[in-house]
Structure 1
Amino acid sequence: MRDAAALRLELPYRDCIGVAVFNSDGKVFIGRRKPDDDPEDSSEMGSPWQMPQGGIDAGETPYNAALRELYEETSIASVSLIAEAPEWIHYDLPDELLGIALRGKYRGQRQRWFAFAFTGPDSEIDVDAPGGGKYTAEFDAWRWELLPKTPDIIVPFKRTAYEAVVAAFADIPSRFTHV
């Protein structure tokens, strides 16, 4: 395998979205990643909890990608836009995952983050058979969590990205009347 520093310079970031979905109590949706063959998703890398995220398809706007990925991963469709992070948020893969994770094509992700208010009932959320079973389940459990706690419960190499998400959306939980 090539030197990690050289490989990091050669590989681009993958353009993606991230979604912070807030419930009426001002907490965010997090899902526990199902283990699979992708080293990035391995629970051995740390806690597998995260907010929904995914790639932006060719010709798709980041906003539309956020709605699509949210539905494909959670079945959530009842949302209203609260905010968009003011800038792209990046994370880099650790050296041992370069050339392996993200199909070996990327050094990490460049993510556009959106905050949505969840306007439906919790029963709308289905991580076991998202989209009525049309999509492959990526999570095996979910819960509502306080936004500031999220950087401590995700894989360590995404921590700085989640800290940026917390900073971008820090005022949102206080907007909910039940907080």
Structure 2
Amino acid sequence: MMNQKDLYRPNVAMVIVSSDYPNSREIFLAQRNDLLDVWQFPQGGIDEGEEVLEALFRELQEEIGTQSVEVIAEFPEWISYDFPPKIAQSMKPFIGQKQRYFLVKLNEDAVINIETQHPEFCDYKFVSVDEALSMSASFKKNVYESVISYFKKEGLL
């Protein structure tokens, strides 16, 4: 039987800054192609037996078409959110996700390509921290606020 902590799917997520960081502190947001007008940070499940950093680079490749990044910082703990009822239906047996968040900087040679093998996004842009918070999905807002305020407090955003 699954216990409460097993009901949250392990996931990795990234706050991506451009290669112009720290001069520019705008962050990458992508528009999902399956939920109307939902913008988010790239994220994805951590496979069984996969290290968190392995998942980070794999998901970057799968979602934005590049692994050419430098990891700047990591949010110090797992952070979780519950799926809204509509999404929860398709994610059974999970009721939410627990995530490891990383702040990553695109390298000079990085080329973003969201037209990946299994595209999840239809658009992307770099926005200010405040814009990112105002555009994010309501069920993720608390997570986004916690992660961004931590990176801000550390002087990174």
How high is the TM-score relative to the length of structure 2?
0.86
Deviation at 1:148, TM superposition (A): 3.2
Deviation at 1:10, TM superposition (A): 9.5
Paired residue type of 1:117: K
- 2:78 corresponds to which residue? 88
Paired residue type of 2:71: L
Moved over 4 A (4+): none
Gaps of 5+ in 1: 1-8, 36-41, 174-179
Matched residues in 2 for 1:121 and 1:141: separation?
Answer: 20
Matched residues in 2 for 1:21 and 1:172: separation?
Answer: 12
How high is the TM-score relative to the length of structure 1?
0.76
Deviation at 1:165, TM superposition (A): 1.4
Q: How many residue pairs are counted as aligned between the two chains?
A: 148
Deviation at 1:137, TM superposition (A): 0.7
Moved more, 84-93 or 142-151: 142-151
**Structure label with greater radius of gyration:** 1
- 1:141 corresponds to which residue? 123
Identity of aligned residues (%): 31
Gaps of 5+ in 2: none
- 2:148 aligned counterpart, secondary structure: helix
- 2:45 corresponds to which residue? 55
RMSD between aligned alpha carbons? Answer: 1.9
- 1:28 corresponds to which residue? 27
* Aligned 8 A contact 2:88 2:96 in 1: no
2:69 pairs, out of 66, 75, 79, with 79
Larger helix proportion of the pair: 1
